[in-house]
Amino acid sequence: MATVIYPDGRSEEMKPKDGQNGFTLAELSRAIGGGYIELVHPRFAPQGQPIMIVDEDGHHKQLEYNRIASMLYDPTGNHTIVGTVMLCSNLEVQ
């Protein structure tokens, strides 16, 4: 089960369509609003858990600042995350 975090602070749970093999590339892209995805690791999380799926071009597209995702990624506030983000286990990604 993954969590999608929107820039306005809302969040929702999401499961892979097939329920067994993890999210496909198309599902990951759709979850964050389309475009190319990038997998990033929160700076202070245990290695590989959890991962964030973000829009690779989010800053270039000037997507809206995502305060919750930014705090999860880097509690020191030195890095920002923009756009809609999916937070999941690396085991949930095909």
pLDDT at residue 7, rounded to an integer:
98
Number of domains in the chain: 1
CB 83 within 8 A of CB 68: no
Q: Domain limits at 76? A: 2-92
Task: Determine the Cα–Cα distance for residues 30 and 79; give it in Å rounded to an integer.
Answer: 24
pTM of the model: 0.90
48-78: per-residue pLDDT in tens? 578 999 999 999 999 999 999 999 999 888 8
29-52: per-residue pLDDT in tens? 999 999 899 999 887 777 657 899
